[in-house]
Structure 1
Amino acid sequence: MLKTPFKISTRLLKLSVLAGACSVAMSAYGQTQLQYTDQQKLHDIAAQVSAVRIGSDIQTLVDFGTRHTLSDTKSNIRGIGAARRWIKKEFEKISAQCGGCLEIIEVKDTISGEKRIPDPVEVVNIVAIQRGATEPNRMVIMSGDIDSRVSDVMDFTSDSPGANDNASGVAGVIEAARVLSKYKFNGSVVYAALSGEEQGLFGGKILTAYAQKHDWQVHGVLNNDMIGNITGINGVTDNTTARIFSEGTRVVETKEQARTRRFTGGEVDSASRNLARYIDTVADRYIENLDTMLVYRLDRFGRGGHHRPFNDAGFAAVRIMETNEHYDRQHQDLRTEEGIEYGDTIEGVDFDYTAKLTSLNAVTMASMAWAPAPPKQVKISGAVTADTSFSWASSDDNNIAGYKIYWRYTSEPQWQFSRYVGNVTNYTLKNVVIDNYYFGVASVSKEGVESPVVFPGDVGSFDHNIK
């Protein structure tokens, strides 16, 4: 297992590099850095996540025997129906403790005629909505998948504990609700336990359609799929890292938008990609002993997850998961062959690690919900000049103190330089040549909480309705 000293040295290296970058920024461009305002309440949120409660919830989900999408829905002790009802009751308990702060709904549809769902089956998502005080229709969503499976994707009767895949994600969603329900936010926080993932991502498709129908302004979907395993099939044991998968350009991009992007850039700056960068920054600031790996891919090679339906609709969505997967514990019948134990049992889940990734989710959602909405209609200009100019739409949000312009070298994965420009709707960076950098703009609240960075133009907008 990687020990803390290794982690500390890695962080010191990152801080040294960051300090160097800031020094370059200061000398080349003058005063560019606004000191970030540390948010004690975000540290408090991270500290409140309980590995004990998460472990108990995972055990409860495992004890339902199987949670296959096609499994029993009538039994009170076995099958996906019993699991759904238990999750709903947990949300109801949480809501009762916060004075009814959660709106708990079933978002569902009947699916049939599909390869993995040939006969009619009701796919039911259990969703709890914590409405924001000032922007109730601005959403950040944390999701996990209820259903489980064994080797045969159509086997809905065999025991399928699904401890890591994905009781860990659902337990994380419930625990995040327990912690965040103690706070009030400007924007809304949504806790979603989705069904039908293994049979074709149907739960995500159903919730995406619901969000579109109700005009949700979804500015982030954090899909948690397998957040409990620390020992991989590659022999590596590591509880200090996690992966964040994000798509580069939106699948809904039009030909004209693609043509514009070809000449202005943005292949690595979709809203999803900048959401991933935001989560990475949160990890560095607020989550002890955790580095996140930004993976520039929709999902693992040739595979998929429940964030994809949201991406398909143009929403910013990412997958958060463990770094080292163990394939003997995924989609396997429970068995022992040649001394190797197969199956997704609870023994393969590290509750402390699951709690760490749950903290990352909770802090990210709280930060986004306290921050103003990401700037809209961000535009940039500056070809064949020494300066780079920006504009963005004005906002009537009284929570906004101002805006912050970010930029980085085009080969760098994270934002390097920044300048706080106040509560304006346009600004010009003098002697910063547009050709040499990628740029973005973030909103900053009066408490100093920032939104994700928005890359200029349609390619980076967090508005999924751009056509």
Structure 2
Amino acid sequence: MAGTTPAAADTGATGSPPPATAQKPGRELRALLREIDPGRIEATVRKLASFGTRHTLSAQDDPARGIGAARDWIHAELTSYARASGGRMTVELQSYVQEPASRIPEPTRITNVIATLRGSVTPDRVYVVSGHYDSRATDVMDATSDAPGADDDASGVAVALELARVTARRRPASTIVFAAVAGEEQGLYGAAHMAERYKAAGTDVRAMFTNDIVGSPKADDGTRDPYTIRLFAEGVPSSETPEQAAVRRSVGGENDSPSRQLARFVRDVAVNDATGMNVRVIYRRDRYRRGGDHIPFLERGYAAARFTEPAEDFAHQHQDVRVEDGKQYGDLPEFCDFGYIARVAKVNAAALWTLAQAPDAPRDARIVTSTLTNSTELVWTRGTEPDLAGYEVVRRETTAPEWTHVVPVGDVTSHEADLSKDNVFFGVRAVNRAGLRGPVAYPLPQT
């Protein structure tokens, strides 16, 4: 296929050749990544653990212990970052009263702490990163015992806060939201409220990442994988109707949902020498018997994915603080690796910053199927970004996990490829004048 030009990129921590769609980090992104500070991340994790318990049902008016004290501290931290933003970052306490429900025995106020950094060019495009600041002991209904929750999930909150700090002084083209949500351990309540608020307002959330249990690279057998983060991404979208899902399956698109394209994009921009990390994409919505704050976003039709450490050390998760045989157990800061959390933050930053600066995935991408032919016609709607330069058509074999070929096609809204649509998968992505590429859009059939 004439004109094929795989994008150059570093091999990063994997040592294997990068995908054809990979992008090298530019000077602006490298500068941002250098500012991520493991020491500040450690201070955040230790401070959150110091509140004793952050259980959703714990005290909301005690200044030193419980979820209310943690909420107020997070709000103060984000507010201090916002002062450096020149008014672009705003901070809010997003509260509601959850009526009695599963794991909520009585009406309970649940509060998300949210910082929004408004975009300067395409502010209506929104990208969300979160961690949950509530914690739990072995008994999920125990709201009084110590539950420091360092790994689960002060580590994820520390990622979101550190990204808010280093981006507050910058001007992203699109809007980035940094959230610390509550109610996760009781049933994803805070994230569901946030996602529903966005859905009701018609907010164009283009991607959401939750960081949940990202504090340690050590497994329960003692092995360590300090340069890998897992990224869980679902296939057929949870929000699709049975009819829509049937169409996707009929053309082989079950591995090309918006969330899977988002996961490929993360690998494209975050596996390199600037992060020092490998992103292991897992083709599942989440782990067995588990769930995270990306799920309410998926259920409302948003692309979302979950970052989590390479293997979990269950001896220190959801365990009461105790000493046995001279060893201390519990989800304590001592079991976190703060350099590892900082590298996870760099992966998040590379993905979020590039998403915010690059053009959006093409809208209404379609593959024309009205006639039988051994060529392939693709059509899409031109984006409205003022710095849009053009488009690239990508392709891969149907058995390949990542895109293998890239063809620049110019500032057009259609392209005909001399290859059969029956034999390969195609996609389309936009490029801006700075050379940044957005996520790939997978074309569904147009009859």
TM-score relative to the length of structure 2: 0.93
Give the distance between the partners of 2:28 and 2:146, measured in 1 at CA: 42
Higher helix share: 1
CA contact 2:13–2:278 (8 Å) conserved in 1: no
Quote the offset at 1:278 in angstroms: 0.7
Q: Which residue pairs with 1:400 in the alignment?
A: 388
Identity %: 37
Query: Residues 174-253 of structure 1 correspond to what in structure 2 (within 5 A)?
Result: 174-253=161-240
Shift in CA distance, 107/286, structure 1 to aligned 2, threshold 3 Å:
farther
Give the distance between the partners of 2:33 and 2:125, measured in 1 at CA: 23
Give the distance between the partners of 2:299 and 2:326, measured in 1 at CA: 43
**Partner SS for 2:271:** helix
CA contact 1:287–1:360 (8 Å) conserved in 2: no
> Once the two structures are superposed, what CA deviation does each residue of 1:161-197 show, in whole Å capped at 9, x if it has no partner?
0001000110111100111112111110000000000
Give the distance between the partners of 2:185 and 2:122, measured in 1 at CA: 34
Quote the offset at 1:376 in angstroms: 0.4
Q: Which residue pairs with 1:343 in the alignment?
A: 330
Query: Residues 68-467 of structure 1 correspond to what in structure 2 (within 5 A)?
Result: 68-285=55-272, 287-337=274-324, 341-381=328-368, 384-430=372-418, 432-457=419-444
Q: Which residue pairs with 2:7 in the alignment?
A: none
Quote the offset at 1:37 in angstroms: 6.3
Report the AA paired with residue 313 of structure 2. Answer: H
TM-score relative to the length of structure 1: 0.89
> Once the two structures are superposed, what CA deviation does each residue of 1:334-363 show, in whole Å capped at 9, x if it has no partner?
123456643100011000000000111112
Quote the offset at 1:326 in angstroms: 0.3
Give the distance between the partners of 1:268 and 1:340, measured in 2 at CA: 45
**Partner SS for 1:228:** coil
CA contact 1:166–1:226 (8 Å) conserved in 2: yes
Is the deviation greater in 233-242 or in 142-151? Answer: 233-242
Is the counterpart of residue 14 in structure 1 residue 10 in structure 2? no
Give the distance between the partners of 1:380 and 1:167, measured in 2 at CA: 44
**Partner SS for 1:85:** helix
Is the deviation greater in 335-344 or in 374-383? Answer: 335-344
**Partner SS for 2:391:** strand
> Once the two structures are superposed, what CA deviation does each residue of 1:233-286 show, in whole Å capped at 9, x if it has no partner?
133112110100011011121232123223212101110111111111122235
Give the distance between the partners of 2:444 and 2:105, measured in 1 at CA: 43
Quote the offset at 1:444 in angstroms: 1.1
CA contact 1:407–1:417 (8 Å) conserved in 2: yes
Give the distance between the partners of 1:405 and 1:304, measured in 2 at CA: 35
CA contact 2:89–2:118 (8 Å) conserved in 1: yes
Shift in CA distance, 37/242, structure 1 to aligned 2, threshold 3 Å:
closer
CA contact 2:11–2:17 (8 Å) conserved in 1: no
Quote the offset at 1:8 in angstroms: 8.2
> Once the two structures are superposed, what CA deviation does each residue of 1:28-74 show, in whole Å capped at 9, x if it has no partner?
xxxxx9x9565221111111100000001111101111100000111
Shift in CA distance, 315/227, structure 1 to aligned 2, threshold 3 Å:
same
Quote the offset at 1:371 in angstroms: 0.8
Report the AA paired with residue 217 of structure 1. Answer: D
Quote the offset at 1:10 in angstroms: 6.8
Quote the offset at 1:133 in angstroms: 1.2
Give the distance between the partners of 2:285 and 2:325, measured in 1 at CA: 36
Is the deviation greater in 114-123 or in 247-256? Answer: 247-256
Give the distance between the partners of 1:56 and 1:232, measured in 2 at CA: 24
Give the distance between the partners of 1:146 and 1:171, measured in 2 at CA: 9
